[in-house]
Every structure is written in C-alpha cells, then in structure tokens.
Amino acid sequence: MYEDFYQLNGKPFALSPDPRFFYASKGHSRAMAYLEYGVQREEGFIVITGEVGAGKTTLVRGLFETLGSRPLKAAQLVSTQLDAEGLLRSVCLAFGLDDVPDSKAAQLRKLEQFLLATRTRGQRALLVVDEAQNLATDAVEELRMLSNFQGDEGPLLQSFLLGQPEFRGILRSENMQQLRQRVIATYHLGPMDAADTRAYVEHRLSRVGWRQDPAFTDAAWPLIHDYSGGIPRRINTLCDRLLLMGFLEERHTLDDEQVRTVIDELEEDFGGEPDEPPPQQADPAARDRAGGDRLARVEEAIRALDQRLLRLERSTLGNLRLSSRILRAVEEPSESPVRVGHRNP
C-alpha cells in the first residue's frame, strides 16, 4: 500500500527470506566467507548459529545466488522436528527422489545411488538443514552417518547446519563428539551494530527504487537500532509498520517521534512484555533453551502482527477507494448518482 505513496516498486521489508535483499553486514560477510570456504572444501559440516530472525536462511540463499554455474545439487530441510527415520525419508524427498521405500536399508541404498549418479554427472550434493536445534539426537547421528557415503573422489554429501544459539550447547554435549570431529567451520551470526542497521534499511529500500522518500532523520536511527537489537527480522517489522504509518499520515520525513509511536504500538500488540534477556542460569545449555523458547514466542507474535498489518492494509485500501468514489460523485454528478452505504428509512 505505502509502496505507491513512496513510489517504490516493491515491498522492502517482507519477513520471508529473499536473497535479492541480502545485505553483507560485517557479521553476514564473515558467515558467508565460512560458507564459501565449506563449498571449496567439498566435505564435512559447516555450522551457522544465530538468533531467530538473524538472517541465517537468507544468508544461505544468498550463497546459492553467488554459486552461479557451479555444479552443485542443493537441497534444504526446513521442518526438522524429526527422528532418525523421519530425517532419512525427508532427505530423500528434499533431493527430489520419488517412490521412497519404507525400509531404512532401501532408503539408504536409494540415496547412495542418487549421490553416486550426481557425482558421475560432475555435480556435488549439498544438504542445508535449517532449525537444526530441533533435531532429535538420533537424527543428528543419522546426518553424521550420511557423511560416510564415499565416492572415488571423496565424500558424496556435504551438509550445512543452521540453528538457533542453543544448537551450540547441543554440539558440546558428550554424545556429539563424533559429529564435532566432522565440523570444519562454525560461526555465530550476532546482531548488527548501529551503522550496519542503518545501512541494512537503506539497502533494502534501494532495492525497490527508493529515492530518499521517505527521508529518515538522524534521531530516528538510534531508536530503530535499539528497539530491533540489530536483528534483521525485527528491523523489517518495525520499518514496515513505520512506512505504513508515514503513508497513513502522509509524511515524507520520518523522525524519532514517529519511531517511538510505532514502537509503542508494537509493544502493545505484543502484550506489553518488556524486552528483557532470559534469567541467568547455571547451565549454559538450559539458558540457551530458555532464550530460544522466548525468541520462538516473539517470532510467532511477529507472524501474527504481519497478518494484522495485511488486514489493516486491505481495510485502509478499501476505505481509500470508497473515499475516491465519494469525491468523484461530488465533483462529477451524473444522472445515476453513486449510493454509498445509504438506506431509506
């Protein structure tokens, strides 16, 4: 809706990952370097962790965009609340294998044949596992076992594991020792600093034809960074609502007052819960799990808010169309006047 008002050619702050909007912040650039290193090594596991909405999935999709014509057959697992049996079947389906057999032995044989055929064609197979912290222990072990598939030129399958911070605690556990030995690089994707937050917003706007309309005052940027914590998805939520407010109030300059107003509205939508860190606990893994649970609740609230914004946009657009009809009826009277919500008593 606000896209037309600000003469943008697209929606700059959608919540869904989109490689077109990938911004190489300092942290994202380093994480990308680790992923590219993993691609060059052609073996082992690369582990990238980060908070909910930190941009892990967008990072990997951005990597795929840079691979160009490289002979890579990639598959991605998103739903990872799986045991070992479910994981193996899901991997087969992710690589597009039809008629996956029921028995584990047959599934392994079918997957190995696929991987060998892929290597014969001069390609390599890469598996990206998102939300890896949700995998059951036996499912993680199954992933490790899949890395044992070997061809004449080396391993047939490489895996990238993306997860929330608590996945680091899982990897440190006693029963993950063998998997840790296969990990060739790991990186934690932290929040962006204030400078990268501003550059991130301006980058996304520039991708949809932004010409400094709306303009942001210098006082607006610290509030955007402080509230979002430098997390891309939170930035998107705040800025999307901010531009919607600017459109509704016909503003072409957005300052700290408008940012505060939008923050207050978001806090009200989230039930007014203070944005506090999880309580300190003696067990780092338990602390990571508590933080992950809270972030999952925030993510769910953000999705609900996105739906509410969509309904608001549709409602406001309907009101604008109705107002336009009323104005045309007043300015250009015709023999058949437009009736708007009127009933005879």
> The domain that contains 255 carries what CATH number?
1.10.8
Write down the pLDDT at residue 335.
Answer: 46
Q: What mean pLDDT comes out for the span 318-333?
A: 53
Q: Is the pTM of the predicted complex or chain greater than 0.75? A: no
Residue 320's pLDDT band (boundaries 50, 70, 90)? low
Domain hosting 216: range is 2-16+192-274+284-321
Q: What mean pLDDT comes out for the span 116-145?
A: 90
Which residue is associated with the tokens 């933080």? 291
Q: Are 199 and 159 spatial neighbours (Cβ–Cβ below 8 Å)?
A: no
Q: What percentage of the chain has pLDDT greater than the value 70?
A: 77
Q: What mean pLDDT comes out for the span 278-304?
A: 50
Higher pLDDT, 337 or 222: 222
Calculate ∠ Cα 145-151-157, nearest 5°: 45
Do 130 and 196 lie in a common domain?
A: no
Q: What mean pLDDT comes out for the span 9-38?
A: 90
3-state secondary structure the chain: CHHHHCCCCCCCCCCCCCHHHCCCCHHHHHHHHHHHHHHHHCCCEEEEEECCCCCHHHHHHHHHHHHCCCCEEEEEECCCCCCHHHHHHHHHHHCCCCCCCCCHHHHHHHHHHHHHHHHHCCCEEEEEECCHHHCCHHHHHHHHHHCCCEECCEECEEEEEEECCHHHHHHHCHHHHHHHCCEEEEEEECCCCHHHHHHHHHHHHHCCCCCCCCEECCCHHHHHHHHHCCCHHHHHHHHHHHHHHHHHCCCCEECHHHHHHHHHHHHHHCCCCCCCCCCCCCCHHHHHHHHHHHHHHHHHHHHHHHHHHHHHHHHHHHHHHHHHHHHHHHHCCCCCCCCCCCCCC
Higher pLDDT, 69 or 138: 138
Q: 343 lies in a domain?
A: no
CATH code of 132's domain: 3.40.50.300
Write down the pLDDT at residue 294.
Answer: 52
Q: What percentage of the chain has pLDDT greater than the value 90?
A: 47
Write down the pLDDT at residue 40.
Answer: 86
Residue 303's pLDDT band (boundaries 50, 70, 90)? low
pLDDT at 278 over 50: no
Total domains in the chain come to: 2
The CA distance from 28 to 34, in Å, is 10
Q: 57 lies in a domain?
A: yes
Write down the pLDDT at residue 322.
Answer: 47
Q: 209 lies in a domain?
A: yes
Q: 329 lies in a domain?
A: no
Q: Are 43 and 156 spatial neighbours (Cβ–Cβ below 8 Å)?
A: no
Do 101 and 68 lie in a common domain?
A: yes
Domain boundary among 131, 154, 189: 189
Do 236 and 113 lie in a common domain?
A: no
pLDDT at 127 over 80: yes
pLDDT at 315 over 60: no
Domain boundary among 128, 155, 189: 189
pLDDT at 158 over 80: yes
Do 118 and 136 lie in a common domain?
A: yes
CA atoms within 13 A on the CB side of 212: 1
pLDDT at 285 over 70: no
Do 43 and 164 lie in a common domain?
A: yes
Do 137 and 255 lie in a common domain?
A: no
Do 101 and 142 lie in a common domain?
A: yes
Do 205 and 183 lie in a common domain?
A: no
Higher pLDDT, 281 or 28: 28
Burial (0-12, 13-18, 19+ Cβ within 10 Å), 230: buried
Q: 268 lies in a domain?
A: yes
Write down the pLDDT at residue 18.
Answer: 86
Write down the pLDDT at residue 327.
Answer: 54
Most confident of 65-79, 121-135, 220-234: 220-234
Do 168 and 199 lie in a common domain?
A: no
